[in-house]
A and B are shown apart, each in its own frame.
Chain A
Amino acid sequence: MALTEQEILAGLGKIINEITGIPAAEVSPEKSFVDDLDIDSLSMVEIAVAAQDEFGVEIPDDQLKHLKTVKDVINFIQA
């Protein structure tokens, strides 16, 4: 059963909060990881690893650089 965008967003918000301390409420689909949330490349790796554990979808490093916004990650997980 595919997860809804809202379910993935909630899960990502929790993961990002645990790794970076950014409040989950600030993690909305249109936010850019680098420009809006100030998340660096190593934290992105930690988020990808945690997302894999949470959603069972591997996000390889060569894909990671193309995922600029929260929505990009949601789409990747849903695809």
Chain B
Amino acid sequence: MRLSQGAPGARVLAFGGYQPAEVVTNHDLAARIDTNDEWIQSRVGIKERRVAGPQESEIDLAVQAGGKALAASGLSADDIDLVIVATCTLEAQIPNAAGRVAHRLGIEAPGAFDVNAACAGFCYGLSAASDAIRAGSATNVLVVGSEKLSQWVDWDDRATAVIFADGAGAAVVGPSEVPRVGPVAWGSAGDKAEAITIKDRRSFLQQEGQTVFRWATTALHPVALLACERAGVDPAELGAFVPHQANLRIVEAIARKLGADQAVIARDIVLSGNTSAASIPLALSRMIERGEVASGDLALLLGFGAGLTYASQVIEIP
């Protein structure tokens, strides 16, 4: 038996993001449920979010974001040999998303699998992509985070309706002579599995807000710092900190504990809501578009969510 030869490292070649057109403001929600703009902004930091209509599926969102990332990477569909879709909100479990997304993008016969690590899914998928490239099991990988949370949220439940939203983000990952995707620091807390659930196919997403908030603001900064340590990066060198956009108060609480004084902190949640596995690549694609981060900057990613699951790594901005 032989082993395949991989590349010395992996790098992100490009990001792409996509959001549905319909904007739902806090005022729109206040017209339907007992809430208001001030309450929502003070609790979760969200002003508005995007929601896909019945004509647009989580697969459609993924295809849009994946297509943008692919176009920006300079590669063609033929160059991609593995597609990973991170999602936890598929309308139906079979078939998976990755095969359909690949087909729609004209990527022929790639390896194709989905990752369900909820809001940590993109970081899990990115780690799997990097490892596949280094092991020689793939050359170029498309990693997509795509969520249509609106179809799993009870729009009459003010505890969740104000938080969750739809969107997709993607990255094309390829080989590199030097490492530009750092080692992952990941893990899970299955003892807290009940904190975020969809109980069965007829149920909506439910969350124990205080439990998740306490966990996120106390247990995760050590994971992010471990990812820095494993990559040999001092937090003071970071150009950006891009955590999952769960809640602006969680984002800022974790950011305060990192010592990443030079880093731009992703605050895409304000206009995008919590889009689960899509939030990190969506935020990054926006930050790159707006010039908030430059090519070569080091960005610390930190995904965390239902499971409970978490994963973090340092990457170099393409």
Residues of A within 8 A of B (CB): 40-42, 44-46, 48-49, 61, 64
Contacts and interface: CB of A to CB of B under 8 A. Distances in A.
Given A49-B217, A49-B218, A61 B43 contact: no
7 contacts: A41-B209, A42-B247, A45-B217, A46-B217, A46-B253, A49-B218, A64-B210
Q: Which 7 A-B pairs have the closest CB atoms?
A: A61-B210, A45-B214, A45-B210, A45-B213, A42-B213, A61-B211, A49-B218
Contacts of A64: 210
Nearest to B250: A42
B43 A40 contact: yes
Contacts of A49: 214, 217-218
B5 interface: no
Interface string B217-232: 1100000000000000
Interface residues of B, number: 13
A73 B214 CA distance: 18
Nearest to A40: B43
A48 B218 CA distance: 12
Nearest to A48: B214
Contacts, number: 26
Contact of A61 (B208, B218, B247, B249): B208
B42 interface: yes
B218 to A, nearest CB: 6
Interface in B242-268: 247, 249, 253
A40 B210 contact: no
A27 B210 CA distance: 22
B42 A40 contact: yes
B218 A42 contact: no
Contacts of B43: 40, 42
Interface in B42-57: 42-43
B210 A41 contact: yes
Given A49-B214, A61-B208, 19 more contacts: A40-B42, A40-B43, A41-B209, A41-B210, A42-B43, A42-B210, A42-B213, A42-B249, A45-B213, A45-B214, A45-B217, A46-B253, A48-B214, A49-B217, A49-B218, A61-B210, A61-B211, A61-B214, A64-B210
B222 to A, nearest CB: 14
- Of residues B209, B214, B253, which shows the largest number of chain A Cβ atoms within 10 Å of its Cβ? B214
Contacts of A45: 210, 213-214, 217
B264 to A, nearest CB: 24
Contacts of B247: 42
Contacts of A46: 217, 253
Nearest to A41: B210
A61 B209 CA distance: 10
A46 B253 CA distance: 10
- Of residues B43, B213, B249, which shows the largest number of chain A Cβ atoms within 10 Å of its Cβ? B213
Interface string B130-151: 0000000000000000000000
Interface in B172-227: 208-211, 213-214, 217-218
A61 B207 CA distance: 13
A49 B214 CA distance: 8
- Of residues A40, A41, A42, which shows the largest number of chain B Cβ atoms within 10 Å of its Cβ? A42
A62 to B, nearest CB: 9
Contacts of B209: 41-42
